[in-house]
Amino acid sequence: MATTILIIFLIVYLGMILGGLPFLQLDRTGVALLGAIALIGIDALSLEEAVAAIDLPTMILLFSFMVISAQMRLGGFYDWVTHRLAGLPLRPAGLLAVLVIITAALSAIFSNDIVCLAVAPVLIEACRRRQLAPLPFLLALAIAANIGSAATLIGNPQNMLIGQTLRLPFGAYFLKALLPVVVGLFISWALIVRQAGGRWRETGASADAAAAPGPGTGEVPFDAWQTIKGLVIAGALLMAFLAAPWPREHMALIGAGILLMSRRLHSRKMLGLVDWELLVLFMSLFVVNHALQHTGMPADAMAYLATAGVRLDQPGALFLATFLLSNLVSNVPAVMLLLPAVQHEVGGVLLALVSTLAGNLLIVGSIANIIVVDAAARYGIAIDWRSHARVGVPVTLATLAVSGIYLALLF
């Protein structure tokens, strides 16, 4: 049975690497779900054990913030912010700096994926109106969203999982993560400005592609009342996370419930914007990883690595393993694999920062990157892996170097 479980586990994580399985119409979520079904089907886990393997507090926290983000999207908040940003009387480099700051701040609260999904189409239209090349701004959007989301324990799914599993203090984590995040944002802005080299406008064929009509942003009209409701709930939750003694998932669920009680926004619209695929991916990976843990193989593997001098409970080895796995299987599966090795707060902060910052290396390293690239493609703007890597690779290496030095000095 242990061998069968290992084979299923390896197939699932091969799917995480490839983004699916050959000859089957499956994405990462489908592969993980199929793996969980297979484990239950062969009685490696009972249904009760599979349900118990799912970290319900993490799932509730993730779901609740998806509802809050849906409120902000339906209130037209992201469109309004992007239009106000585009209308600022600033030079392109200054405009890029404001974009980086705003994107990072929003991503730290409302999740990087949601921010990129809502902002990217509006940003492209805004760049066209100002006759600016959209590529530097789109790269800044994706990179700043990833870096900014590392600042809090609610900025992205892997940070939510780390915070809930290790019970990290919300305020203490923010203070520890703030400096490398701020430095990382400055580095990313400086690199993009340098690579732009003052060429902020498209020329030739690129200009023709940029001027081609897009599919339309499907912009949501700004609704001040709905936006204020969302901001009040989000602000109240942040204050509660800092000061209140109650579980974060309970408070977030209450906040989501309040927003669902609306006379104008139908719950169908709110729940329709929840990323159910991501929730299924999380639940399936919980089941797959629990089944492997139950065999004792991960503990044996860690013991073997320790005898070889590689101890994942030590910061250096954990740093390197997090960086490699985050780019191999994506950051959420990597965090699930490595969390059992983390036994202290230092490891939790390191795991959150490195897994998030590593997502900027390549397009496939982060869902936020993929969202921006897909949005650009719908407007005839090609962002290939080379274009992204020219910024993503140096930004990732620089931000990880800063984080490594900072964590070494701090702890």
The highest-confidence range among 302-306, 312-316, 378-382, by mean pLDDT, is 378-382
Two tokens at 39? Answer: 């484990």
**Would you state the pLDDT for residue 63?**
95
Q: What pLDDT, in 10s, does the model give residues 153-165?
A: 999 999 999 999 9
For 64-68, 137-141, 407-411, which range has the lowest pLDDT when averaged over its residues? 407-411
Burial tier of 91 (Cβ tally within 10 Å: 0-12, 13-18, 19+): exposed
Residue 204 has pLDDT above 80, yes or no: no
**Would you state the pLDDT for residue 31?**
94
Q: What pLDDT, in 10s, does the model give residues 209-224?
A: 555 555 655 678 899 9
CA distance 193 to 186: 11
Work out the percent of the chain whose per-residue pLDDT is above 90.
Answer: 66
Kindly report the pTM of this predicted structure. 0.88
The angle formed by the CA atoms of residues 252, 282 and 61, to the nearest 5 degrees, is 5
Rg (CA), the chain: 21
Q: What pLDDT, in 10s, does the model give residues 89-102?
A: 999 999 999 999 99
**Would you state the pLDDT for residue 154?**
94
Residue 143 has pLDDT above 70, yes or no: yes
Q: What pLDDT, in 10s, does the model give residues 322-338?
A: 999 888 888 888 898 89
The predicted model gives 37-63 an average pLDDT of 94
**Contacts of residue 342, Cβ cutoff 8 Å, sequence gap at least 6:** 162, 166, 313, 318, 348, 351
Burial tier of 142 (Cβ tally within 10 Å: 0-12, 13-18, 19+): buried
Mean pLDDT of the chain: 90
